[in-house]
């Protein structure tokens, strides 16, 4: 089926090292990078402005600026209009670093999508947005609950292929960790049920190990 081919290709794409690298970067906000973006896009940026945009404590901003200063990336300069105000600017080194990062990112994007026309890119973007919307929909959430929430069914599946059970467990943990990113407002799996499944799997492995030890003695 065409949908199977699409899902298989999406799975292959998601496992590519480049996308694994990007996902690792996206797992948590990098305040240093966001600060460089802010300093490159705005003028006369103060520590207070950085704290506002990054939504972090002023003390954390002070520590970060000190580190960037020590690396030669930023500098603090007194305002010519008000000596009480200090601006944070990119140094020539910081500007070069920012430019290199943008060049690398732009070059990779251009190479990756160079086979697409502008019309194809627009259509592809719309299709991806539509797929993301379906993944985050209540209907798909209900379907996931229906297909993956039946513990008795999955006990049978695990007997046929243990990897299916392992993959299910990993998927459930991923949903719990990234539910907001996927658009879900609450966990779609019952936490007590998950703990029970983990305990049962651990107990099964332990019993199997003990049984194996008894078998080797005789």
**pLDDT over 80 at 112, yes or no:** yes
Tell me, yes or no, whether 96 and 159 share the same domain: no
Cβ atoms of 208 and 191 within 8 Å: the answer is no
What CATH code is carried by the domain that includes residue 99? 1.10.10.10
Distances in whole angstroms, Cα of residue 33 to Cα of each of 7, 21, 175: 33, 16, 27
- Per-residue pLDDT band for 33 (boundaries 50, 70, 90) equals confident
pLDDT value of residue 40: 94
CA neighbor of 87 nearest in space, from 78, 98, 96 = 78
Cβ atoms of 45 and 88 within 8 Å: the answer is yes
pLDDT value of residue 177: 66
Whether residue 118 lies inside any domain: the answer is: no
Looking only at the bridges linking them, the beta strands covering 74-78 and 86-90 are antiparallel
CA gyration radius, the chain? 25
Distances in whole angstroms, Cα of residue 80 to Cα of each of 76, 86, 207, 208: 12, 9, 75, 75
- Per-residue pLDDT band for 195 (boundaries 50, 70, 90) equals very low
Strand partners, 37: none
Residue where the block lists tokens 């990098």: 30
Tell me, yes or no, whether 101 and 143 share the same domain: no
- Per-residue pLDDT band for 181 (boundaries 50, 70, 90) equals low
**Its pTM surpasses 0.85:** no
Whether residue 164 lies inside any domain: the answer is: yes
Whether residue 192 lies inside any domain: the answer is: yes
Last residue of a domain, one of 94, 110, 126: 110
Q: How many domains does the chain have?
A: 2
Whether residue 116 lies inside any domain: the answer is: no
Whether residue 30 lies inside any domain: the answer is: no
- Per-residue pLDDT band for 210 (boundaries 50, 70, 90) equals very low
Whether residue 201 lies inside any domain: the answer is: yes
Choice among 19-23, 92-96, 182-186 with the minimum mean pLDDT: 182-186
Domain containing residue 165: 135-218
pLDDT value of residue 136: 83
Tell me, yes or no, whether 177 and 214 share the same domain: yes
Tell me, yes or no, whether 99 and 175 share the same domain: no
């Amino acid at each position: 089926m065409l949908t199977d081919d699409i899902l298989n290709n999406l799975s292959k794409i998601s496992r590519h090292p480049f996308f694994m690298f990007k996902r690792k970067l996206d797992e948590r906000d990098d305040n240093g990078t966001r600060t460089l973006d802010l300093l490159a896009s705005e003028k006369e940026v103060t520590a207070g402005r950085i704290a506002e945009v990054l939504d972090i404590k002023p003390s954390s901003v002070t520590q970060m600026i000190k580190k960037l200063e020590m690396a030669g990336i930023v500098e603090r300069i007194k305002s010519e209009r008000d000596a009480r105000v200090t601006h944070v600017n990119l140094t020539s080194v910081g500007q070069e670093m920012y430019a290199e990062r943008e060049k690398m990112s732009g070059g990779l994007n251009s190479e990756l999508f160079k086979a697409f026309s502008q019309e194809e890119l627009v259509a592809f973007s719309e299709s991806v947005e539509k797929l993301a919307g379906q993944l985050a929909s209540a209907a798909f959430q209900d379907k996931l609950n229906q297909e993956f929430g039946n513990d008795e069914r999955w006990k049978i599946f695990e007997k046929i292929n243990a990897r299916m059970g392992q993959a299910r467990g990993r998927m459930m943990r991923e949903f719990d960790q990234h539910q907001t990113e996927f658009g879900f407002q609450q966990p779609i799996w019952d936490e007590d049920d998950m703990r029970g499944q983990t305990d049962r799997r651990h107990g099964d492995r332990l019993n199997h190990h003990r049984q194996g030890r008894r078998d080797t003695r005789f």
